[in-house]
Amino acid sequence: MELGLDVTERNGYAVLAVHGEVDVYTAPRFRERLIELVSEGKTRIVVDLEGVDFLDSTGLGVLVGGLKRLRSHDGDLSLVCTQSRILKVFEITGLTKVFAIHDSVDAAVAS
Amino acid sequence: MPAQVVELEIPARAEFVALARLLVSAMASSDTSLPDERIDDLKIAVSEACTNAIEAYAGIDTVERVLVRLRAQHDHLEVNVEDRGEGFDPSTLPDHPPVTDPDRLKFERGLGIPLIRALVDEVEFSSSGGGTAVRIVMWHSDGTGNGQVGA
């Protein structure tokens, strides 16, 4: 199972585009990539979930951990997601109130 | 129609959870009347149950396995996920702080069981020192078993 993690720069934000399935197997790579970005001094991060086919609570845990880490560095992490099946897990767990979730990368980097 | 049963025994390793999801997807798509959205919900629930089963073996130096059994009935799909780990009591799981509480960010784990409960029609956890069994049921129609499609 492949997990794609591509980073681009937009408007001073690091945009991490995630592709594939995020579960207990792939989540550690996702977590490591976020930690690397913070270590590189990237404290404004947008995680683009539009290419994600599957995400469970292990993926949510990575995002919560990433947000906590960034806030401790006076940074922030926001999300791009329009897929109802992915948004649903954020809604059920109340995490729509924790993360800023945008419709597009353009909207996320403009905020 | 007699129940159709498929069993999959996977090594208790993270890379095999995707295989369990694939099986759920294939069986739910071919044999039941579950809409795609409900199949997606079931895949998340089974993924969570398998993840918990694998984590139940954490620290145990052994080659253990997780059993995933799917039973397609005329009006529902039942999935059992069983491990032989140390067991746990789901009623003792800590509650997360409200999402508006900054302490909420301290909780990166513990979302799996609430997700299972929210996404499926029925779930039962049976746990003892000899392992844990999770039984998940998805009805074809409205969650009560009444008025199923194609009955």
Domain chopping of chain A, boundaries = 3-110
Statement: A3-110 belongs to CATH 3.30.750.24:
yes
Q: In terms of C-beta distances under 8 Å and separation of at least 24 residues, what long-range contacts does A3-7 make, across chains too?
A: A3/A29, A3/A30, A4/A51, A5/A29, A5/A30, A5/A33, A7/A33, A7/A37
**Residue B121, min C-alpha distance to chain A (Å):** 15
Q: Model confidence over B19-45: pLDDT tens digits? A: 999 999 998 887 667 888 999 999 999
- Residue B2 above 80 pLDDT? no
Range of the domain at B126: 4-139
Whether B107 and A64 lie within 8 Å, measured CB to CB: yes
Helix (H, G, I), strand (E, B) or coil at B23: helix
Chain A residues within an 8 Å CB radius of B106: 68
Per-residue CA distances from B117 to B42, B48, B49, B66, B125 (Å): 11, 11, 11, 20, 11
- Domain assignment present for residue B61? The answer is yes
Rounded Cα gap, residues B31 and A31, in angstroms: 37
Model confidence band, residue B86 (pLDDT cutoffs 50, 70, 90): confident
Rounded Cα gap, residues B83 and B93, in angstroms: 19
- Domain assignment present for residue B34? The answer is yes
The pLDDT value recorded for residue A11 is 94
Rounded Cα gap, residues A13 and A20, in angstroms: 22
The pLDDT value recorded for residue B128 is 83
Across residues B98-102, what is the average pLDDT? 62
Model confidence band, residue B127 (pLDDT cutoffs 50, 70, 90): confident
Nearest CA in chain A to B18: A1
- Residue B150 above 70 pLDDT? no
Question: Out of A10-19, A80-89, B98-107, which region has the weakest mean confidence (pLDDT)?
Answer: B98-107
The pLDDT value recorded for residue B4 is 87
- Residue B78 above 70 pLDDT? yes
Helix pair B112-119, B36-56: axis angle to 10 deg: 150
Q: Model confidence over A77-101: pLDDT tens digits? A: 999 999 999 999 999 999 999 999 9
Nearest residue, CB atoms, A54 vs list B43, B54, B106: B43
The pLDDT value recorded for residue B151 is 33
The pLDDT value recorded for residue B147 is 43
Chain B residues within an 8 Å CB radius of A68: 105-106, 108
DSSP state of B52: H
Rounded Cα gap, residues B150 and B20, in angstroms: 27
Find which of A3, A21, A23, A35 to mutate to test the B interface (most B CBs within 10 Å of its CB): A23
Q: Which CATH number is B13's domain given?
A: 3.30.565.10
The pLDDT value recorded for residue B58 is 75
The pLDDT value recorded for residue B140 is 87
CA gyration radius for chain B? 16
Whether A93 and B115 lie within 8 Å, measured CB to CB: yes
For chains A and B, count residue pairs whose Cβ atoms are closer than 8 Å: 73
- Residue B1 above 90 pLDDT? no
Chain B residues within an 8 Å CB radius of A23: 14, 17-18, 21, 47, 51
Rounded Cα gap, residues B15 and A105, in angstroms: 30
Across residues B80-108, what is the average pLDDT? 72
- Domain assignment present for residue B144? The answer is no
Nearest residue, CB atoms, A61 vs list B21, B55, B111: B111
Q: Model confidence over A23-71: pLDDT tens digits? A: 999 999 999 999 999 999 999 999 999 999 999 999 999 999 999 999 9
Number of domains present in the structure of chain B: 1
The pLDDT value recorded for residue B103 is 66
Whether B114 and A93 lie within 8 Å, measured CB to CB: yes
The pLDDT value recorded for residue B141 is 76
Question: Out of A61-65, A70-74, B57-61, which region has the weakest mean confidence (pLDDT)?
Answer: B57-61
**Residue A5, min C-alpha distance to chain B (Å):** 18
The pLDDT value recorded for residue B24 is 93
